Amino acid sequence: MKEPVPRTSRQEVALRLVRPYGGICTRSMLVDTGISQGAIDAEIRARRWLRIGRHTVAIPEAMAPSWPSDASSWPRARPGAAGTPELSQLPLLWWAVWESGTGAVLDGASSLTASGLTGYTQDRIDVSVEAGSRTIRHPGIRIKERRPLGPLAPGGIPRVETALSTIRAAQLAVSDRQAALVICMSVQQRIVEPDRLLRRWRGIARSKRRSLIGPVIGDVCDGAHSLGELDFAALCRARDLPEPVRQQLRQGPNGRIYLDVAFACGLVVEIDGAGHSWGLAPVDDALRANHVTLQNRSVLRIPVIGLRVMPQAFMDQVATGIRLRSPH
């Protein structure tokens, strides 16, 4: 049995214990250090520590100033702008795992946040448990029972690995736009490897957003292939617009260039795959677009993801461009 920690040393021992977790720990972790259940309750009664759930204790001295000292506020806390878990966010993620039920792990966008995703905002924490597990529901936490739970990421907060988390984040997103966004951000920030995401997606048998997620993953992970599948001409026909010419050859400042889509009226549409935002691609694209514009043509740039999630808005612009350049 662990030797009891003297009362005068409890705070020092607790502070060391909670440091990796952003200022919180479980009661069992404290007991393992030699602080008894009775001693824990005594510290809580003295308000030196806070009880923030059935299993979790917070040490206010170790918490970021932004966290409320009122324990009743914790179940209603929300993660802010996503990012590599900072002191203000890290305890909430651990708390969600510890308080949601046996074997709970972060999933979806919450798992991606714990893996380093930045800039993606969510209004709740996603947690998954094995089907049939005993769970405890809290405001601000969405619990999904799954069979199987799926492979977990190594180290850190218990969480589903990034490829599967990316797909689940897209499935759970509040809109198609958010679904596409979390896929793009996860790949662009190198949270998940494109090949790994493609392989994982091919193993998904059912998805309520299959018609969106599949093409978006293709656009982001294999842009050259997906661009050939995107029938821009069909979008034009649906709007009763003139038939465009694909891959029109032109002479550029540094040799031959191919225009993605060109109309007889002089409007050019460049459909940018995911790779157009990486490295020096934006510089090359700007030179190319400027050259075409100086040839008395109008250039519209459309991200291929935009045609997936906002086709009507972008095709409205194409229609306007054709109208403005057509003889009256």
Among 78-92, 225-239, 285-299, 300-314, which is the least confidently predicted range?
78-92
CA atoms within 13 A on the CB side of 108: 25
pLDDT (0 to 100) of residue 283: 67
Average pLDDT over residues 218-229: 58
pTM of the model: 0.72
Closest among 116, 108, 191, 189 to 146, alpha carbons compared? 108
- Residues 34-45 have pLDDT tens digits of 999 999 999 999
- Residues 13-36 have pLDDT tens digits of 999 999 999 899 999 999 999 999
Is residue 287 within 8 Å of 253, Cβ to Cβ?
yes
pLDDT (0 to 100) of residue 253: 52
Beta strands in the chain (DSSP E): 24-26, 50-51, 56-58, 105-106, 125-130, 141-146, 245-252, 255-262, 267-272, 298-303
Cβ neighbours of residue 59 closer than 8 Å, sequence gap 6 or more: 11, 14, 15, 18, 23, 24, 25, 49, 50
Average pLDDT over residues 152-160: 95
What average pLDDT does the structure give for the chain?
A: 82
Is a pLDDT exceeding 70 seen at residue 252?
no
* Residue 318 binned pLDDT confidence (cut-offs 50, 70, 90): very high
Closest among 180, 245, 251, 252 to 218, alpha carbons compared? 180
pLDDT (0 to 100) of residue 264: 85
